[in-house]
A and B are shown apart, each in its own frame.
Chain A
Amino acid sequence: MAIFVDQNTKVIVQGLTGGQGKYHGLRNQAYGTQVVGGVTPGKGGTDVAIPEGGSIPVFNSVAEAVAATGATASFIAVPPKAASAAILEAAAAGIAFIVCITEGIPAQDEAKVYNTLVRDYPNTRLLGPNCPGIISPGKCNIGITAGEIAQLPTASGPNVGIVSRSGTLTYQALYELKQRGIGVSTCVGIGGDPVPGTNFIDCLREFQADPETHAIIMIGEIGGSAEEEAAEFIKANVTKPMSAYIAGVTAPEGKKMGHAGAITSGGKGTAKGKMDALAAAGVRVGLNPTEAGDLMAEIIKAL
């Protein structure tokens, strides 16, 4: 088991013939992910060669790709201008799980896309935008995570689920667990934008229900109230032990810290508030990523 994606997930890459899409799409394929097709309007009928042999067919539209391959997931690696349309095209073609790594989508577009999905495509889940993607180690890797830093889960466990708002801190969390030999069931990067398609709670709910996940690490950052909402959810619904880290304790007020969503204003969205809320929900909160890893090691040992 894993959450959202596993060895049976068939993935198409929207933008497979572009620089990012090709690089990461082929890396995902090399990891063992079933990358069954690519979509680039006007390049249908061509294919992208796999360095180790074989090739991935390219289609003009997501609908064509789905009809030909039976894909249920899409990896979107297109520029910000084209990303909203790409997400909606995938949803309209019946794709159930969309991963969009694109950074820099205007907030107005993102809000519109989110609400369109909720209304018209309730069975489609969007991960991102501006996220590193998702990896179920040994089974499926969609996005830009370097697969080799993810520790494989063991059949008997205990295994840890990871959910994070930041890309590099997602890698850091994977690395901390690998250093300690702790298996990972699934690692989800939900992204740093103001309106993420998938939030902490969506992932926590899945991890709680996933028999292969025994504990959860959550990595948040300043801005918004997603961590506080997650804390409420944890208090009521999550029985699996958790550790957490929140980045941005020292971030100055009113400045966007790299991520479009990482900004505190009017005393809201601070790291302190988030850490307190999580601690009050029974989550063990580390002051840096290593400490969150150490706390998880303690949790695992006690299981």
Chain B
Amino acid sequence: MDLFEYQGKQYFARFDIPVSPGDVAYTVDEAVAAAEMAGYPVVVKAQVQVGGRGKAGGIKLADNADEVRLHAGNIIGMDIKGHLVKRVWVEHASDIKKEYYASYSLDRAAKQHLLMLSAEGGVEIETVAVENPDAIVLLHIDPVDGLSAATARDAAVRAKIDDEAVDGVADMLVKLYRCFTEGDCDLAEINPLILRPDGGVHALDAKVSLDNNAGFRHPEWEEFRATEELDEREQLARTHDLQYIGLDGTVGIIANGAGLAMSTLDVVNQVGGTAANFLDIGGGANADMMAAALGVINFDENVKSIFINIFGGITRGEEVAKGIVEAMGRVELRAPIVIRLDGTNAEEGRAILASAGIPESKLISKPTMLEAARAAVAIANGTN
């Protein structure tokens, strides 16, 4: 789960990572109130989970209440690369002497934590990595040992952080590491991490991605979940505990297992179609799950055909078939189903589907993944 900047800063604050004083605002009046609290001058920042906010006019300086009104009024409701700005973060504008970069993530190849630290912050770290790779210090941290203050300081020195900022940055690195580990982040990034003229350092931005698997030990994440930017289809899928990702195509997809679902998208694409979604109903494809899945797919107006791709391993073919028949009785579908049912007891399953009396205009059964994909795509593209 990706956090908004303001949520990232609130999360940082829990781990004593200094951030600029500020508050989140949903309206112009709230923005002015936040500005008065933070103290002028302030920065009004659009809260969207997409890069390039500044260029799009989503970040503005304001010296007084009138300017806050003007900018907040313009920014709230703005569309930035397809993301609607619902809220702004208003914080005291900082004097910046230098901009640094710091982040923690998991290096999957090394199977250890990775600190990336650079004295060249404020720009995309990917750009620095290409143009001046020596400017980035990479430090692997064994998750069992963790990060000591001495190691953090050493990294800061190696990254050529200015002398006056080394102690402050080292302290930040230790705190950010705690946030990353105890806070169960997939990514904890500060860019820029600034040095102020008074010698202090703090986080001017926050990019935090949380590990959903750790949600069970973080009840406080509930408030983040409430603001997560899901489209309506994804919201609906979540209420049914379905692994769903909305896409732009016309073939609705249901498969059991994440790998098979991904593979289904690929095959649809291979035969000239486009997938409307990724949907993994998991191992136990019973009638309730199938009905819920079909309900979510049915909600999507772009869907012209539905490709159900089931491989019976533990899930038995006849159970899946019964599930589909029952689900079709409950949900009036906007598009026909093409099903490929294979694996354990697939023949029994196909027999159940064949004898259910569902017309071929509503349900077509194909023996292989490729044939089913072709049939589903032909319907979706209107070439059948």
Residue of A nearest to B249 (CB): A250
* In the complex, chain A residues whose CB is within 8 Å of the CB of B378: none
Q: How many residues of A contact B (CB 8 A)?
A: 61
CB distance from A144 to the nearest CB of B (A): 6
Q: Which of B106, B212, B370 contacts A290 (CB 8 A)?
A: B370
In residues 255-303 of chain A, which contact B (Cβ within 8 Å)?
Answer: 255-262, 266, 271, 287-290
A299 to B370, CA, bound (A): 22
- Asked if residues A80 and B216 are in contact (CB atoms below 8 Å), the reply is yes
Per-residue interface assignment for chain B, residues 15 to 53, with 1 indicating a CB less than 8 Å from any chain A CB and 0 otherwise: 000000000000000000000000000000000000000
* In the complex, chain B residues whose CB is within 8 Å of the CB of A261: 108
A114 within 8 A of B: yes
A288 to B340, CA, bound (A): 15
Most A CB within 10 A of own CB, among B109, B256, B257, B312 = B257
A107 within 8 A of B: yes
If A144-B313, A145-B313, A289-B369 touch, whether A168 touches B247 (CB-CB below 8 Å) is no
A44 within 8 A of B: no
B111 within 8 A of A: yes
* In the complex, chain A residues whose CB is within 8 Å of the CB of B314: 144, 146
A158 within 8 A of B: no
* In the complex, chain B residues whose CB is within 8 Å of the CB of A248: 262-263, 265-266
* In the complex, chain B residues whose CB is within 8 Å of the CB of A262: 258, 262
- Asked if residues A258 and B370 are in contact (CB atoms below 8 Å), the reply is no
- Asked if residues A108 and B278 are in contact (CB atoms below 8 Å), the reply is no
- Asked if residues B259 and A168 are in contact (CB atoms below 8 Å), the reply is yes
Q: Which of B113, B144, B270 contacts A116 (CB 8 A)?
A: B144
A96 within 8 A of B: no
* In the complex, chain A residues whose CB is within 8 Å of the CB of B259: 164-170, 192, 219, 221, 247, 258-259
If A108-B214, A251-B262 touch, whether A168 touches B256 (CB-CB below 8 Å) is yes
* In the complex, chain B residues whose CB is within 8 Å of the CB of A112: 143-144
If A148-B344, A289-B263 touch, whether A166 touches B368 (CB-CB below 8 Å) is no
CB distance from B313 to the nearest CB of A (A): 4
Per-residue interface assignment for chain B, residues 251 to 264, with 1 indicating a CB less than 8 Å from any chain A CB and 0 otherwise: 00001111111110
